[in-house]
Chain A
Amino acid sequence: MDKMPKWADVILTPLISLVLAMAISALVILAIGESPVMAMKTMVEGALGSSYGWGFTLYYATNFIFTGLAVMVAYHASLFNIGGEGQAAMGGLGVALVLLYLPLPHWAIALPVAMIGAAAFGAAWAFIPAYLQAKRGSHIVITTIMFNFIAAAALNYVLVNKLRPVGSMDPASARFPEATHIPALTDLAAGLGMTWGKNTPVNITFLVAIAACALVWLLIWRTKLGYEIRVLGKSEPGAVYAGISPVKITVIAMLISGGLAGLMAINNVMGESERLVLNAVEGAGFIGIAVALMGRNHPFGILLAALLFGFLYQGGGELALWTSIPRELIVVIQALVILFTGALDNMVRMPLERLFLSMRRTKGGAK
């Protein structure tokens, strides 16, 4: 009964958080003697003002959609998977192995096979923490974060000692065969007779990401498995009473979560760099946590939040390029947005709730 309307909860709260984060960012920019208005203009123009900007924004957003969905699926089973970074890195290894060692004649075949490789490696990396949590009670937050470091070290080893082509000084794999390169959105636009997003990394993985949003929605709210995941997430004794095995559902939810994080590699490894490089994930696994939080653990919210963070990433890059605002400040702005929309969510929510309640009361009293 003591609730505010849903639209306020879902839209108004993150919006106010965002405005607050912007306001403080503006103060910081003022403090170093730059113009916030100019900065904002640069960001918006750089990220959204051209098809080029959009191309990068959407590319980053694609990464964040996958890692955001990964956090979300685990969250609905009340598991906090912060191992998206490592799972995505392992997904990259899966993509690289599949594309380097399987003879795949065409991208249309390579894509599904690489997706299986990415998801399988990501899921396998999530499986060990999941099993330890389900069977031994080792806390998933601790194990997944440790597995991020193990993944980074393992990838380092594999790239330097196993996948590096003979004679190369670069700790990266060989280029994937030409036939397996998936089309960029530029190519699709060209196919429709348009020029759009020239020289941008956004590729058809973006469409895969949108499909993944729809599928995850279907999974969580329409399937029996989703029902069981949500039951476990709300009450473990309830799940046991209902004949749902917490061990089984914990492992399955984490496998799906890890698989989704792994799928990110289709975008950055297969779609963009077309070879496996060191630190290919670039923190997208962690951004996924903020994206899921801000997106209220709903695929549609995650899509919007991922677009916002894509904008911040691309806009921030432009800011560093065209203004004298140092690159570090862009990280500050991004951190403020994460802080306000994620961690300080309740700071905005509670006063807002009180406001709505008192509004309702005065309305009720007037009768």
Chain B
Amino acid sequence: MTVENDMMGGRSATTAPAAIELRGISKAFGPVQANRNINLSVPKGSIHGIIGENGAGKSTLMSILYGFYKPDSGQVLVNGQPITIADSQTAIRAGIGMVFQHFKLVQNFTVLENIILGVEDGALLRPSLSKARGVLKKLAAEYQLNVDPDEVIENLSVGHQQRVEILKALYRQADILILDEPTGVLTPAEADHLFRILEGLRDEGKTIILITHKLREIMDITDNVSVMRRGEMVASVKTSETSPEHLAELMVGRKVLLNVEKTPAAPAAPVLEVRNLTMTDDEGVQRLRGIDLDIRAGEILGIAGVSGNGQTMLLEILGGYPPKGSKLGGEIRMNGQPLPIGGRGCDAAQRRRAGIGHIPEDRQVEGLIMDFAAWENVAFGWQDAPEFTKGMLMDNAAIKADAEAKMERFDVRPRNPNLAARNFSGGNQQKIVVAREIERNPDLLLIGQPTRGVDIGAIEFIHKQIVALRDAGKAILLVSVELDEILALSDRIAVMFDGRIMGERLPENTTTGELGLLMAGVTDTEHTPDDAGIPPGSAHVDTLPQEPV
């Protein structure tokens, strides 16, 4: 059972006890060892990053800290005192607060009502509400955490909802704040603001644990960083003494290329032409406001943008299934032939016949049937393909053989076609989808968030496959909220904001700063050239100018 772990950081114990100290924590779920002999020490008043691939055990470890799981062995010390965290109430009493990746807010309650939820003093709400109002005012001033206390949650932006979560924790007098992937849903500007809040909290003596898989965030904001790999804590180092490349290597256990190696594109004839595409949803809100796009054979067009600015609808319309009840306008041509937009004869099957492959944004809801075996998922969407059918029957033997071959070529692990899709890790699930769509050799491949929730090893592999398809002379439309991914893969970048293409850039001639501004709806005319290099946070995106007419 005992596995040697001598990778702890070399910091000698300081006089002040650590805010959190874990000694030899182990936790197993059935045969899976999620955490193995974890040692961790988080000094008071520091920002501590925890980084690792999906399934490395980060979330399990934090759930132990917050009382969701009981460790099989090991000890937790908070401020030097040994403590048994049996449930989240104990954790809160010990001063630990948690901000989850998926917010736990009541959507139709106000900010104030959410703050006092569960800590009301007595049966009447009014006293606790007014008390909370006072505390909130103080916190807002202290940490730049301003939120309108009387606004209903569903009217708040995602960034503001996150602030409410942080305020909830602070209201419960948390000294130690755990944030699980906090920037996944934020714009660069919002993320920037969040980091300033976190720094403010640290300077006030709070301790912050930041779980993320984004190396840049770790480098930007943390004081110390711990790396987890396959349930073990493989390193704890000072951030100033490490580099992204080194951390990435520690995470996957070998050297990875963060930059995709690719030759310059050789674009040929246009494959997809989109002209003045408009879409109004069933509530009468215009979601696409005249999209014009050209994608040529042999190039990757990247679409950058904060999620929710029309990218999803664009993909769905191109994929043949516009949202229910929407009104559509404009023109789409594929290899010169007009494609139907909505209405009869327009569905995903028609698009596949026209030579369009589609890796959807959400593999768990659209891309895979999670309860189906891997081999059944290989025929998913292609259930009409002649090689998969024998008359009215499915040719299960042929599908299985094809699945085995694809899993082999795309290194899907475990290589068991009979395993249900839900039992594969995120990266391997995505590999199944990618293998299915790419191996069909489509003229145009639509890709949405290809590496969301995918570990670095698989990201690298998937990126290589995408570039290989481009080099084979295919057109690729890549939608991603990860700017790094857009920059690394695209031959051209179009930025979407509020249903519009804000502009096109070449990846070699732009910066994340400039793209960030475009993503926030700030066009060229509104900033001077020297703005381009600095972080987008300075554009005060919180009070966005109305989009230009």
| Chain A residues engaging chain B, CB cutoff 8 angstroms | 1-2, 218, 222-228, 230-231, 234-235, 237-238, 240-245, 357, 360-361, 364
Of all chain B residues, the one with the shortest Cβ separation from A218 is B393
B442 within 8 Å of A (CB atoms): no
Chain A residues with Cβ under 8 A from B32's Cβ? 1
Q: Give 3 nearest A-B pairs by CB, closest first.
A: A243-B349, A243-B348, A242-B381
B466 within 8 Å of A (CB atoms): no
- With A1-B29, A241-B366 in contact, is A222–B389 under 8 Å at CB? no
- Is there contact, CB below 8 Å, between B30 and A231? no
B8 within 8 Å of A (CB atoms): no
User: Which one, B350, B365, B392, B423, contacts A238 given CB within 8 A?
Assistant: B365
- Is there contact, CB below 8 Å, between B29 and A2? yes
- Is there contact, CB below 8 Å, between A243 and B347? yes
**Complex-state Cα separation, A242 to B370, whole angstroms:** 14
User: Which one, A225, A227, A230, A240, contacts B348 given CB within 8 A?
Assistant: A240
User: Which one, A222, A240, A241, A361, contacts B394 given CB within 8 A?
Assistant: A222
User: Which one, A228, A237, A364, contacts B383 given CB within 8 A?
Assistant: A228
Chain B residues with Cβ under 8 A from A234's Cβ? 369-372
**Complex-state Cα separation, A43 to B389, whole angstroms:** 49
- With A222-B393, A228-B383 in contact, is A245–B347 under 8 Å at CB? yes
- Is there contact, CB below 8 Å, between A235 and B29? no
Of all chain A residues, the one with the shortest Cβ separation from B366 is A241
Chain B residues with Cβ under 8 A from A357's Cβ? 30
- Is there contact, CB below 8 Å, between A238 and B383? no
B450 within 8 Å of A (CB atoms): no
Chain B residues with Cβ under 8 A from A226's Cβ? 394
- Is there contact, CB below 8 Å, between B396 and A222? yes
Chain B residues with Cβ under 8 A from A240's Cβ? 321, 347-348, 366
CB < 8 Å A-B pair total: 86
**Complex-state Cα separation, A231 to B511, whole angstroms:** 43
- Is there contact, CB below 8 Å, between B366 and A237? yes
B319 within 8 Å of A (CB atoms): yes
Beyond A227-B383, A231-B383, A234-B371, 20 additional contacts (C-beta under 8 Å) are A222-B396, A223-B393, A224-B392, A230-B369, A230-B372, A231-B369, A234-B369, A234-B372, A235-B369, A238-B365, A238-B367, A240-B366, A241-B366, A241-B367, A242-B348, A243-B320, A243-B347, A244-B383, A245-B347, A364-B30
**Complex-state Cα separation, A225 to B391, whole angstroms:** 11
User: Which one, A223, A225, A360, contacts B31 given CB within 8 A?
Assistant: A360
- Is there contact, CB below 8 Å, between B366 and A238? yes
**Complex-state Cα separation, A224 to B396, whole angstroms:** 10
- Is there contact, CB below 8 Å, between B394 and A238? no
Of all chain A residues, the one with the shortest Cβ separation from B323 is A240
Cβ contacts A to B, 28 pairs, < 8 Å: A1-B29, A1-B30, A1-B32, A1-B423, A2-B29, A223-B392, A223-B393, A224-B393, A225-B392, A231-B383, A234-B370, A234-B372, A235-B369, A237-B366, A238-B365, A238-B367, A238-B369, A240-B366, A241-B319, A241-B358, A243-B347, A243-B348, A243-B350, A243-B351, A243-B352, A360-B31, A364-B30, A364-B31
**Complex-state Cα separation, A245 to B346, whole angstroms:** 11
- Is there contact, CB below 8 Å, between A237 and B392? no
Of all chain B residues, the one with the shortest Cβ separation from A365 is B1
Of all chain B residues, the one with the shortest Cβ separation from A226 is B394
**Complex-state Cα separation, A223 to B383, whole angstroms:** 10
**Complex-state Cα separation, A1 to B365, whole angstroms:** 21
Of all chain B residues, the one with the shortest Cβ separation from A1 is B30
Chain B residues with Cβ under 8 A from A244's Cβ? 349, 383
B516 within 8 Å of A (CB atoms): no
**Complex-state Cα separation, A360 to B358, whole angstroms:** 41
- Shortest A236–chain B CB gap in Å is 9
- With A1-B31, A231-B369, A361-B30 in contact, is A241–B393 under 8 Å at CB? no
**Complex-state Cα separation, A56 to B423, whole angstroms:** 46
Instruction: Give the most central of A1, A226, A231, A241: most B CB within 10 Å.
Output: A241
B109 within 8 Å of A (CB atoms): no
Of all chain A residues, the one with the shortest Cβ separation from B360 is A241
Of all chain B residues, the one with the shortest Cβ separation from A243 is B349
- Is there contact, CB below 8 Å, between A237 and B30? no
- Is there contact, CB below 8 Å, between A360 and B366? no
- Shortest B444–chain A CB gap in Å is 16
B145 within 8 Å of A (CB atoms): no
Chain B residues with Cβ under 8 A from A364's Cβ? 30-31
Of all chain A residues, the one with the shortest Cβ separation from B399 is A227
- Is there contact, CB below 8 Å, between B348 and A241? yes
B469 within 8 Å of A (CB atoms): no
Interface members, chain B 338-373 (any A CB < 8 Å): 347-352, 358, 360, 362, 365-372
Chain B residues with Cβ under 8 A from A243's Cβ? 320, 347-352, 381, 384
- Is there contact, CB below 8 Å, between A224 and B381? no
Chain B residues with Cβ under 8 A from A222's Cβ? 393-394, 396
**Complex-state Cα separation, A237 to B362, whole angstroms:** 10
Of all chain B residues, the one with the shortest Cβ separation from A360 is B30
B68 within 8 Å of A (CB atoms): no
**Complex-state Cα separation, A354 to B128, whole angstroms:** 42
- Is there contact, CB below 8 Å, between B380 and A238? yes
- Shortest A98–chain B CB gap in Å is 27
B379 within 8 Å of A (CB atoms): yes
**Complex-state Cα separation, A223 to B379, whole angstroms:** 13
**0/1 string, B374-399, CB within 8 A of A gives 1:** 00100111011000010011101000
Chain B residues with Cβ under 8 A from A235's Cβ? 365-366, 369-370
- Shortest A309–chain B CB gap in Å is 28
**Complex-state Cα separation, A61 to B360, whole angstroms:** 46
Of all chain B residues, the one with the shortest Cβ separation from A361 is B30
- Shortest A235–chain B CB gap in Å is 6
Chain A residues with Cβ under 8 A from B347's Cβ? 240, 243, 245
- Shortest B30–chain A CB gap in Å is 6
Chain B residues with Cβ under 8 A from A227's Cβ? 376, 379, 383, 394
**Complex-state Cα separation, A253 to B321, whole angstroms:** 22
Chain A residues with Cβ under 8 A from B371's Cβ? 234
- Shortest B425–chain A CB gap in Å is 11
Of all chain A residues, the one with the shortest Cβ separation from B396 is A222
- Is there contact, CB below 8 Å, between B394 and A237? no
**Complex-state Cα separation, A148 to B348, whole angstroms:** 37
Chain B residues with Cβ under 8 A from A228's Cβ? 383
**Complex-state Cα separation, A361 to B72, whole angstroms:** 12
**Complex-state Cα separation, A1 to B321, whole angstroms:** 35
- Is there contact, CB below 8 Å, between A223 and B372? no
Chain A residues with Cβ under 8 A from B365's Cβ? 235, 237-238
Of all chain B residues, the one with the shortest Cβ separation from A2 is B30
Chain B residues with Cβ under 8 A from A242's Cβ? 348-349, 380-381, 383
Instruction: Give the most central of A1, A218, A243, A361: most B CB within 10 Å.
Output: A243
- With A223-B393, A225-B392, A227-B383 in contact, is A238–B368 under 8 Å at CB? yes
- With A224-B383, A360-B30 in contact, is A241–B396 under 8 Å at CB? no
